[in-house]
Structure 1
Amino acid sequence: MDIKPLRYFIAIAKTESFTKAAQQLGVAQPAVSMAIKKLETDLGLILIHRADRNVGLTDEGKKLLIHAEKIIQATDEALLEMMELQGLNQGEVRIGISSMLGSYYFPSILMAFRHHYPSITLKVIEGGTWELQKMLENGELDLSVIVAETLPDSLETQTLVRGEMLVTIANDHPFSELDKIPPKAFFEEELVMFKEGYFHRRIVDKLAKEANMTPKIGFETNLIPLIKSIIRQGFGISTLLAMVIEEDDQLITRSFDPPIWLDLCIAWRKDSYLSKANQAFLEFVSEHGQNR
């Protein structure tokens, strides 16, 4: 089977449009339409609903999509491996990083790697931990930084660093008189939280459930400077990784009681081919992280 129609089919499924799929693929729309028609004829099935400009997959199309994505992913990895056997390196790393780590832990690592490997392109995708994990599993990312909690068997991980989640408060907050903060006391305060889907929020939600408390969330934002500003002005408290707190933030931190430690890992798919560029990045990050 020619796999080109499968690429067209996947693009149509994602864009829900023949026109948008053609634009994304850089081909003429009639070519896309003809390829899909031939694919349906070869399979003897209708794969796509075409009614009043609304494009959607049939039940048969939805089943084919699962296999098509796996076929394209395996084909791309096989081609990359064959190219690298000939000494041809695409030199690209697609990595997913959350806001907190992307802003405070990774900039120096990424710049140092780029300096060491100037021919390798870094594509950094920011997102929530859960979203990035799904993108990794679907082959949209080569690597992703995640928190090692419950991981699927399909992923391989390597620990980068262990970080403590600290209660973060203004200088004049009553918690400043305490050595450690019990979760129940934390959840009695107005909170400034990341949005759902980010590991910061997932940790807090899990902690609230264990304490049988409902978080009082006054602000939701993924902008760390804004979170710090809100805390500093006394409009709420939060919890941030120790690495995020800087001396000039004018904020106070305290450990939870008991302390909350997170293992931050870099992950990749077990069944995927890691290019030489990705292998170089893994080795570099591992060495850099151990030296921090």
Structure 2
Amino acid sequence: MELRELKYIAAIGQKQNMAQAAQELYISQQALYKSLRKIEDELGTTLFYRRENELLPTDTGQIVLEKSTKIFKYINQMHDEIAATKNLEQGKVCIGLPSVVASMYMPEPLIQFQKKYPNISLRTVETGGNALAGMVTAGTIDMAIIMRPVYMDTLNELPLIRNQVAAGISPSHPWAKRSFITIKDLENTPFITFDETFNMRAQLTERFNAEHIYPKIAFEGANCQFLSDLSALSDNILVLPRPIIEYYAREPVVTLPFKPAFIWELTLVYPKNTFLSTASKALIRHIQEYFSLFD
């Protein structure tokens, strides 16, 4: 049975008159009568019976009318929801963020987005960049902001911020007057940095391996304020992205870049060759526009 035929049955049930139903449907009475007989033959039962000048539903006809009413209700609801989604009046989107990115960069753009689209449900997930890339690929979150490079060819990238990983030291440190440090400088020097859930840590490990160095990591973790405070109290070098060192420092700090440069870039990743909801597209566009102000 086609949807058009359900509309025919609904019109007959509402008007209880073949001529009036045909007029409502803008078809001839004969065409409507033939369609009704076809439907009844297909179902193997009579849907209406005549009482004087009225067409009333049989028991099976009543069942079809009740189900038709629900079907049309769901169809109308579907059209309403599609229209609302297209107009960004509703929708859902989930973005993954490393905790440091969440605290340093994202409160303002996310609040702006919620104010602009108050009916879109916006959810965040916080963990390390390596884990977030896998979650985007698996489809458990819609997008994430992580550190480059991105090793998964299943993800699209939109670069957002470019800076450097640096060494943070106190102004009284013997290296304070230097203009840079190298990876080899850390060979016998205890330092503090991110744990292994972070992409930056993986890249740092690659640099040590390339130089055949076994680093002395005094402390590692994911909480930037905690790592910064540990460095200040212990006088251990803090190896983190420069903006993070400067943001969380409670006391004066000197930041030394690495030579060769250890680039720190944030990029927005989302799946390739897959459907993106209207809400996801809106958030991607909003984040791009916000971070363009950093250029």
| Superposition TM-score, scaled by structure 1 size | 0.67
Instruction: Give the structure 2 partner of residue 200 of structure 1.
Output: 200
Following superposition, the deviation at residue 164 of structure 1 comes to: 1.1
Deviates more, 1:245-254 or 1:210-219: 245-254
Instruction: Give the structure 2 partner of residue 87 of structure 1.
Output: 84
Following superposition, the deviation at residue 85 of structure 1 comes to: 4.0
> Aligned in 2, Cα 1:92/1:263: closer, same or farther, shift over 3 Å?
same
Matched, 1:175 2:178: no
Partner Cα separation in structure 2 for residue 84 and residue 157 of structure 1:
30
Instruction: Give the structure 1 partner of residue 224 of structure 2.
Output: 224
Q: Deviations over 1:14-68 (max 9, x none)?
A: xxxxxxxxxxxxxxxxxxxxxxxxxxxxxxxxxxxxxxxxxxxxxxxxxxxxxxx
Largest Rg, 1 or 2: 2
Partner Cα separation in structure 1 for residue 238 and residue 250 of structure 2:
17
> Aligned in 2, Cα 1:213/1:117: closer, same or farther, shift over 3 Å?
same
Partner Cα separation in structure 2 for residue 200 and residue 115 of structure 1:
33
SS of 1:274's partner is coil
Coordinate RMSD, CA, aligned: 2.1
> Aligned in 2, Cα 1:84/1:268: closer, same or farther, shift over 3 Å?
farther
Matched, 1:261 2:293: no
- Match for residue 279 of structure 1 among 278, 281, 295: 281
> Aligned in 2, Cα 1:139/1:171: closer, same or farther, shift over 3 Å?
same
Deviates more, 1:84-93 or 1:114-123: 84-93
Contact 2:157–2:269 under 8 Å retained in 1: yes
Matched, 1:161 2:169: no
> Aligned in 2, Cα 1:112/1:248: closer, same or farther, shift over 3 Å?
farther
Contact 1:170–1:234 under 8 Å retained in 2: no
Partner Cα separation in structure 2 for residue 97 and residue 269 of structure 1:
16
Q: Deviations over 1:162-215 (max 9, x none)?
A: 121111112211121210001111232112122112123112211211222111
Which amino acid in the other structure matches residue 87 of structure 1? A
Unmatched tracts of structure 1, length 5 or more: 1-80
1:60-139 matches, within 5 Å, as 85-88=82-85, 90-139=90-139
Unmatched tracts of structure 2, length 5 or more: 1-77
Partner Cα separation in structure 2 for residue 100 and residue 83 of structure 1:
39
Superposed structure 1 runs of 4+ greater than 6 Å apart:
81-84
Following superposition, the deviation at residue 290 of structure 1 comes to: 0.8
> Aligned in 2, Cα 1:141/1:86: closer, same or farther, shift over 3 Å?
same
| Superposition TM-score, scaled by structure 2 size | 0.67
Following superposition, the deviation at residue 243 of structure 1 comes to: 2.1
Q: Deviations over 1:59-117 (max 9, x none)?
A: xxxxxxxxxxxxxxxxxxxxxx9886443354222111112211212222222222222
Aligned length: 212
Following superposition, the deviation at residue 272 of structure 1 comes to: 2.1
1:24-43 matches, within 5 Å, as none
